[in-house]
Amino acid sequence: MNTQRIYSGFGPVLSPMVRTLLLINGAVYLLQVLTSGQGLIEGRLALWPDQVFHDGALWQLITYMFLHGSLLHLLFNLFTLWMFGSDVERSLGEKRFLGFYLITGICAALFHLFFNAQSTNPVLGASGAIYGVLVAFALLYPEREITLLLFFILPVHLKAKYLAAIFMAISLIAGIQSQITGAAEGVAHLAHLGGGLAGLLLLRGGAVVHAFLFEHRKRRQWRRMGKQKQREKHLTAQRRQVDELLDKINQVGYANLTEEEKSILKKAAERLSNDT
């Protein structure tokens, strides 16, 4: 069976929502450039932890992903969205893809805020949502081979599942390092990680939850069956004991039973009365 490849120089035909997102990101960046001296857009629409927590600027959880810090930042994100987004959109559908893109971007912001609540540095860019799209592509097309140009010269072939795993591992390691050292390098690695994890949960979380619930129900049923067997075993032993006492009554009479034996018969009679 032939393995389909994606080459870094020629991407797939654009799907409608990916095209719309590319245009929106490009238009917003143009607006940023035109108003760069005023800083109005970044000041209110980038993700500022202090504004989110102290001023309730919850809209920044969405708006930040349409802003970019540089032309290179914008082009890299749009290129990645172009390469992987269209196939993901064709698999999920236009509306579901848009929801997926926005939710992964929001989760990326929340993940960053959780670990950087005291940060005074803004976060902007679509990278969190892009990581979600990359993970989705790897889940939907794990064996598809991607050819990248390392240093724009050396071709490197990787399956999608390995490419996504490498990028997620880099984000995890770099994110942990930045938390330990406290160094601000201008890259929100944990936001990338959060977006990728959100993509994983959105596409495979249902299966994981279903498996967990199935296992939980199975174990609960086993415990119920075990208790039922213990109860039946106990009742069988009690019936055997009652039968033995009834045989003894036939032989020596009720008056010759011990007080303990009479108590056993009395409890058995009460239980029989309650059952009926």
Amino acid at 125: G
pLDDT score of 212: 56
* Model pLDDT for residues 164-221, shown as the tens digit of each residue: 888 899 888 888 887 777 665 667 888 999 999 999 999 887 655 555 555 667 677 7
| Chain Cα centroid distance, residue 123 | 22
Please provide the size of the chain in residues.
276
Q: What are phi and psi of 14, to 5 degrees?
A: -65, 135
Q: How many CA atoms lie within 13 A of 253 on its CB side?
A: 2
Residue 4 confidence (pLDDT) above 50: no
Which helix (H) or strand (E) covers residue 201, if one does?
helix 189-252
pLDDT score of 275: 59
Angle at 164 between CA 159 and CA 169, to 5 degrees: 125
- The ranges assigned to domains in the chain are 5-204, 215-275
Residue located via tokens 């930040």: 64
Residue 38 confidence (pLDDT) above 70: no
* Model pLDDT for residues 49-103, shown as the tens digit of each residue: 989 998 888 999 999 999 998 899 999 999 999 989 999 999 999 999 999 999 9
Which helix (H) or strand (E) covers residue 158, if one does?
strand 154-159
pLDDT score of 5: 43
Classified as helix, coil or strand, 219 is: helix
Count the Cβ atoms, other than its own, within 10 Å of residue 29.
Answer: 21
| Structure-model confidence comparison of residues 69 and 132, the more confident one | 132
pLDDT score of 6: 43
Predicted TM-score (pTM) of this structure: 0.69
pLDDT score of 3: 44
**All residues at 6 or more sequence positions from 6 whose CB lies less than 8 Å from its CB, including other chains:** 12, 83, 144, 145, 146, 147
User: 99: which 2 tokens?
Assistant: 């929801």
The CATH-assigned architecture of domain 5-204 is Up-down Bundle (1.20)
Q: What percent of the chain has pLDDT over 70?
A: 84
pLDDT score of 237: 76
pLDDT score of 120: 82
Nearest one of 48, 80, 70, 57 to 196, comparing CA atoms: 80
| Chain Cα centroid distance, residue 44 | 29
pLDDT score of 154: 67
**All residues at 6 or more sequence positions from 83 whose CB lies less than 8 Å from its CB, including other chains:** 6, 8, 11, 12
Contact yes or no for 74/124 (Cβ under 8 A):
no
pLDDT score of 20: 95
| Structure-model confidence comparison of residues 163 and 179, the more confident one | 163
Residue 271 confidence (pLDDT) above 90: no
pLDDT score of 236: 79
* 88-97 contacts at long range (C-beta below 8 A, 24 or more positions apart): 88/133, 88/136, 88/137, 88/140, 89/15, 89/16, 89/17, 89/18, 90/15, 91/140, 92/136, 94/15, 94/16, 94/17, 97/15, 97/17, 97/18
| Confidence at 246, pLDDT banded by 50, 70, 90 | confident
Angle at 103 between CA 98 and CA 108, to 5 degrees: 130
Which helix (H) or strand (E) covers residue 167, if one does?
helix 160-181
